[in-house]
Amino acid sequence: MLEKLKNHIKSEFDLEFKDESLLLEAFTHSSYANDHHQARHKNLERLEFLGDAVVELCTSAYLYDKFPELPEGQLTRIRAASVRAESLAQLARECDLPQFILLGKGEEMMQGRERPALLCDVFEAFTGAIFQDQGYEKARQFLSQVLFPKIDHDDFSHGMDFKTALQELMQENGEVKIDYDVVDTKGPDHNRTFYVEVKIEGDSYGVGQGNSKKRAQQQAAKKALEQLSQKQVGDQD
């Protein structure tokens, strides 16, 4: 198992562990360690504890840099949606990590390899192992491969209210008129794509698209925030 895992992470993420015991520990569930207690296997719980903090820190730093205009409350909601158990379990599956988990017989029979909470723990433990073996920057690079693009693509949009963030930002100093107009629709009724333009005081700040008007509005607001953020950076330069 360890050799296959090493080959997998090398080919997929360009990772090579200096301390391979950390890699094994990250994929050893407590049920397996208990079933093989004489071998004194370490289980993933300590690395999961570490990885939980690493994932949150890296994600916080990424969001802080990406959305300099967003208030703390909105950043917190985006982060919570991005690092919740279901999101990280999805990443574990997409990284093909479940096949390498060492489970006890009982946990295997109960289909533990498919449980979101367990997969989340493994993803965090693996991230913690990367951090412990190679440091913060390598852990951040791993997350930039597998997690941050999903934030960019709005895959965790259930936690992101860009319309509210834009409204709060623009109305800090008084009322500002923000309009969302449907400028185009494409596709059949059962699979329609909406295109919505956002205007602030009559000026266009971007067009968003989505399979509903609400989603397209959120995408338009996101583009407006990104444009405002770029403008702020440009003004500082």
Write out 74-121 in H/E/C secondary structure.
HHHHHHHHHHCHHHHHHHHHHCCCHHHCECCHHHHHCCHHHCHHHHHH
Residue 175 is a catalytic residue: no
Which of 52, 69, 107, 197 is the catalytic position? 52
Which residues does residue 179 pair with via DSSP β-bridges, in sequence order? 199
Residue 52 is a catalytic residue: yes
Alpha-carbon separation of residue 226 from 40, 65, 177, 200, 201 (angstroms): 51, 11, 18, 14, 17
Which of 48, 69, 107, 124 is the catalytic position? 124
Alpha-carbon separation of residue 17 from 131, 135, 141 (angstroms): 11, 11, 15
Residues with catalytic roles: 52, 124
